[in-house]
Chains A and B, each alone.
Chain A
């Protein structure tokens, strides 16, 4: 028999009961909601989103859940139901009649689309009482300027009652251990961003587990209790035709953290493996950060040092944001600021109590980044070019302690658009835009003194550097102050050859 669609509105304070019902938790079960469900309520209820209404949509056919169902759950003696429920969240208090009235207005098309304007995201509830949170896409918090959520800048087209709503966010889901371990869901979130940005279709968690365990199997692929090792995570990324770049934290923590920041600022999620103190190795996906503000802070700058001298300085990080499948989407992480653990140990910082068991410090140990195949330059190499150029910039800026470098990768065309808005003479902007040949992705190191832009150094990313003797693949040096040009030409002649544009 054909099942009819059911839509109903619930007040937001009914979220826990709603998930309990839709995940088919047995009536009368005394179990408390899992951490991920409580975190979802906490995230959505925070004043920055202020969720007021849940629209419950059932049945909902979710490709990601259906793939898990077909590959694993369908063969259980007592399988869950194959269809899921989708919860939509709004920041206004609506009844179903209110929703229908706004739908009517949106259909007429001559007014504001209130449904899209108040939309905060959705959560697919799987019929798994122990792991109900399926694919979930939520808006990020946006009230603080220092926050960077570039890896979560992915537009989803949500289809609801015939409307198409554009929602920006990065998918999260809770691991269920039947089909996906933490490493699988972390890779799935990261791959979703890079594949979708290149015009491809997002993989499912089941497909990621299959890809990871296709060639190297030491234990059962399903149930996915054993987790994934680093080689398997890299294999999964390879299988989806991306390049896994792996690096570990060495002796200088800031070398590692500045590389993470560079990828995140570039919009590329980073999967990090973290050793929980007295606990397991855990994987999570970094999806953003919050820079230290201009006021006082316990958090220092990120510094690339040579001996006791700082050679390159980047604005410090107060918070990292992660999709951590033990907790939820955009979970806050901060450095442990006391004692010798500074800039080495981090811990989760939930905004509410009740998660103390997850707040044990952890140490980031390795990072794995899914890279577009032609992006051959790494963040570490780009930072090295910054170190190379730093004495020149600091000399010209006449400042040793307030000059900051912010490296990132971006599309060549996007960089030229950024240049349009730089505070420099329009004739120079036009000269650069009409003479500079750029690779699909360029590495850009933007230099600032306090908040003022000083210079952009633009690098080719399509080749690797061979040994110490080779020149950095510089494409252009573009200073804010045109009077720097003749001095930069002196340095170019010695270090970069005649090729790079200085304008």
Chain B
């Protein structure tokens, strides 16, 4: 069952301003782009690799 959110010793929480939001989004997009480039390599499997048998 759901309960109340845990109490923390620090009652304040950061507020993202519109300017900060732009910066956080830009940082995230840039990191995700770099990661996706590596994923492309993970998905590009050579013919030799595909035709090697596991036994």
Contacts and interface: CB of A to CB of B under 8 A. Distances in A.
Given A182-B55, A230-B51, A480-B5, A249 B42 contact: yes
B42 A247 contact: yes
Contacts of A256: 42
Contacts of A32: none
A248 B31 CA distance: 21
B5 to A, nearest CB: 6
A398 interface: yes
Interface residues of B, number: 40
B44 to A, nearest CB: 8
Nearest to B30: A306
Chain B binding surface SS class: helix
Interface stretch (A66-74, A84-92, A388-396): A388-396
Contact size class for A? 35 or more
Interface stretch (A115-123, A132-140, A340-348, A415-423): A415-423
A423 B52 contact: no
From A181, A283, A311, A481, residue with most partner B Cβ within 10 Å: A311
A307 B38 CA distance: 12
Contacts of A273: 54
A490 B2 contact: no
Contacts of B22: 494
A98 B20 CA distance: 71
Given A422-B2, A481-B5, A490-B18, A306 B45 contact: no
B11 to A, nearest CB: 9
A398 to B, nearest CB: 6
Interface stretch (A9-17, A20-28, A262-270, A377-385): A377-385
A491 B35 contact: no
Given A387-B28, A388-B28, A491-B25, A306 B34 contact: yes
B25 A494 contact: yes
Given A425-B5, A480-B5, A495-B29, 7 more contacts: A182-B54, A229-B51, A233-B54, A307-B34, A381-B39, A487-B21, A490-B21
Shortest 7 CB-CB distances between A and B: which pairs?
A227-B55, A487-B16, A283-B54, A490-B21, A388-B32, A227-B53, A311-B31
